Amino acid sequence: MKIGSYREFLIDSYKKNKKTFLFYSVLRLLVVLTLVRCIMRGNYQSAALCVLSLVLFFVPAILQDKLKVDIPPVFQVIIFGFIFAAEILGEVDHFYVRIPGWDTMLHTMNGFLAAAVGFSLVYLLNRKSDKFNLSPFYLTLVAFCFSMTIGVLWEFFECANDLLFAVDMQKDFIVQDFGSVTLDPNNMGESIHVTDITKTVIYTASGKTYTVDGGYLDIGILDTMKDLFVNLIGAIVFSIIGYSTLKFSKSSKVAESFMIKPVKPEKED
């Protein structure tokens, strides 16, 4: 499909639900304004994130076209909001640092959304296949594992960026105590417990010093574990909803709002 055709398809796809299209249009305008602001300030790294966000806004419609599926309007709205909250508010406007719990909220939502995607994909395959028929439990289990895998892969991505570019995607925690076998003077693997830390002073080979008031700087480990834990919570919440819907054959507005379904073929006149 050509770029012009894609543009028409995307607009037509979002216009099917006026509220979704309005929300999409407002966010897209805000991203464009943020992009202009970043360029005027010479902040090209943030400008690149704005461009990335604009590209990601096309993903739901592209998936609908390529996979011949229908993504519910509520799901699309949450995807758009998630992209805006993570890339523009979180990275460009530094909400990750300025607002406590911003990162935790997004990782919880990510676990929920990834479980919904995994559930929908396996559900579609399960319905179309004559070779296997998964029970509600195994279908939900696969969706749960899919969500956790996405969460782990994202943590790999954060760690790689921190190691290669020192961008601190895995935010640091200040702790007042820790245990380490490295401090064992006898090198016998005994964990030495250090407590009541009030300050850490860092010396560099160039002569610079950095002071961490309030404790010791934990580099990303606790943040990673926290992110995976809240991802787990989000995945469990949707897994319970999905399992209950399939097991007891009860309609659920929440499940229906997040279930990706195949596009019904149009009837010929």
Q: What is the pLDDT of residue 129?
A: 63
Smallest CA-to-CA distance from 245 within 261, 260, 259, 262 is with 259
Give the residue extent of every domain in the chain.
Answer: 3-166+232-262, 173-218
End-to-end alpha carbon distance in the chain: 26
pTM for the structure as a whole: 0.82
C-alpha to C-alpha distance for 73 and 68, rounded to whole angstroms: 16
With a cut of 60, say whether residue 5 has pLDDT above it.
Answer: no
241 versus 129: the higher-pLDDT residue is: 241
Average pLDDT score over residue span 207-213: 95
Question: For residue 174, which phi and psi values (nearest 5 degrees)?
Answer: -100, 120
Give pLDDT tens digits for 78-103.
Answer: 999 999 999 999 999 999 989 989 99
Q: Over pLDDT 70: what percentage of the chain?
A: 87
Q: What is the pLDDT of residue 107?
A: 95
pLDDT band at 1 (very low <50, low <70, confident <90, very high): very low
Q: What is the pLDDT of residue 123?
A: 79
Return all residues near 58 (Cβ < 8 A) that are at least 6 apart.
6, 10
Give pLDDT tens digits for 122-152.
Answer: 877 776 666 667 788 888 999 999 999 999 9
Give pLDDT tens digits for 64-76.
Answer: 878 788 888 889 8
- Alpha-carbon dihedral 79, 80, 81, 83, rounded to 10 degrees: 80
Comparing 96-105, 127-136, 234-243, 254-263, the range with the smallest average pLDDT is 127-136
3-state helix, strand, coil in the chain (%, to 5): 65, 10, 25
With a cut of 60, say whether residue 264 has pLDDT above it.
Answer: yes
Q: What is the pLDDT of residue 269?
A: 46
Work out the number of other CB atoms within 10 angstroms of the CB of residue 243: 20
Query: 221, 171 in Cβ contact below 8 A?
Result: no
Average pLDDT, the chain: 86
With a cut of 80, say whether residue 193 has pLDDT above it.
Answer: yes
Query: 115, 121 in Cβ contact below 8 A?
Result: no
With a cut of 80, say whether residue 41 has pLDDT above it.
Answer: yes
Tokens 């782990």 correspond to what residue? Answer: 152
Return all residues near 16 (Cβ < 8 A) that are at least 6 apart.
73
Average pLDDT score over residue span 112-129: 82
Cα→Cα distances 73→24, 54, 100, 189, Å = 11, 18, 29, 56
What sign does the CA torsion over 128, 133, 138, 140 have? positive
Average pLDDT score over residue span 13-37: 86
